[in-house]
Amino acid sequence: MAELKALLFDVDGTLADTEKDGHRVAFNLAFAAENLDWHWDEALYGKLLAVTGGKERIQYYLSHFNTEFAPPEDLTGFIKKLHQLKTDFYTQLLAEGAIPLRPGVARLIAEAREAGMRLAIVTTTTPANVHALLTHTLGADSADWFDVIAAGDIVPAKKPAPDIYDWALAQMGLTADETIAFEDSRNGILSSRGAGIKTLVTINDYTQEDDFSAAEIVLNHLGEPNMPFAVLAGNGMGHTFVDLAMVSNLAKA
Ligand code: XBP
Ligand code: MG
């Protein structure tokens, strides 16, 4: 049985609830700035989350939900520009402190660093978004705490493909059984499990109905000493908040 050497964190929905009040809002601000009469309300955005990656999500919106739109000749360039604008709005929202970390995230990362556990980010979102979230929640130098920030277009096939997790493992020189992943969504766990990595899931409003049967455990959040988690599937082993001891046991199970 391999020893646990690294914690691999998804970002959106896992480190912070970024989708509804962050990404969605930033997409809408970008549409308005470009004089597009598109608006992604909370319900529509839930459907659009079927596709990961912001550029891919815009493409999916046009092909499935706004087929009336007459695409410009250079659709790829148009989407790229719109998405860059969205990234600018999104990182601005994070700089304003719009999105806090989820319960237990800062505590677990601090404990892991203290113990010399390696850390990585494995996400679909744009690298600038990861840096903005880390900087404005954990502090200016916190991106350096992570051995690898695997993000965005680094691999062409985004989650649910396993490629981004495979890439992170290769960069770290680790095997899947030396790591554990933290995810919040079906696309996320398909990716982590596809790479053979045991996965702890914390759900959110958009993902609570997802199929997480491949998870080691499913929780409402990571919990804090004064805010116990609820176990939605799996065995909490008597714990009330996720600490390194619990994570190591899950990795061994
Ligand atoms: C996150 C995503 C991303 C963000 C938007 O998925 O799907 O597309 O919503 O980010 P995961 P960009 O949590 O599985 O990584 O607009 O920067 O692509
Ligand atoms: Mg996620």
- Say if residues 226 and 204 touch (Cβ distance below 8 Å): no
The ligand 1 atom nearest the CA atom of 122: 15
Cα distances (angstroms) measured from residue 164 to each of 148, 152, 178? 11, 9, 16
Separation between Cα atoms, residue 82 and residue 58, nearest integer Å = 9
* Nearest protein CA to atom 10 of ligand 1, as residue: 125
Averages of pLDDT over runs of 10 residues in the chain (253 residues) are 92 97 98 97 97 97 96 96 98 96 98 98 97 97 98 94 98 98 98 98 96 98 98 96 97 86
- 155 vs 18: CA distance, rounded Å: 22
Residues within 6 Å of ligand 1 by CB: 10-13, 19, 23, 52-54, 57, 123-126, 129, 159, 185, 187-188
Residues identified as active-site = 10, 12
Ligand 1, residues 48, 52, 185, 199: which to mutate, most atoms within 8 A of Cβ? 52
CA of 17 to the centre of ligand 2 (A): 9
Ligand nearest to the CA of 203: 2
Q: What local confidence, expressed as pLDDT, does residue 1 receive? A: 65
Q: 188 CA distance to ligand 2 centroid (A)?
A: 6
**Rounded to whole angstroms, how far apart are CA atoms 217 and 67?**
40
pLDDT recorded at residue 34: 97
The answer to whether 52 and 160 are in contact (CB under 8 A) is yes
Six-digit token string for 210: 């997802």
For residue 61, give the DSSP letter: H
Name the helix (H) or strand (E) containing 103.
none
- Ligand at shortest distance from the CA of 152: 1
Q: Indicate the DSSP class of residue 142.
A: G
Integer Rg of the chain from CA: 18
At residue 92, the 3 state secondary structure works out as helix
CA distance 123 to 14: 10
Look at the alpha carbons of 164, 125, 130, 117 in this order and tell me if their dihedral is positive or negative.
Answer: negative
**Amino acid in the structure at residue 198:** K
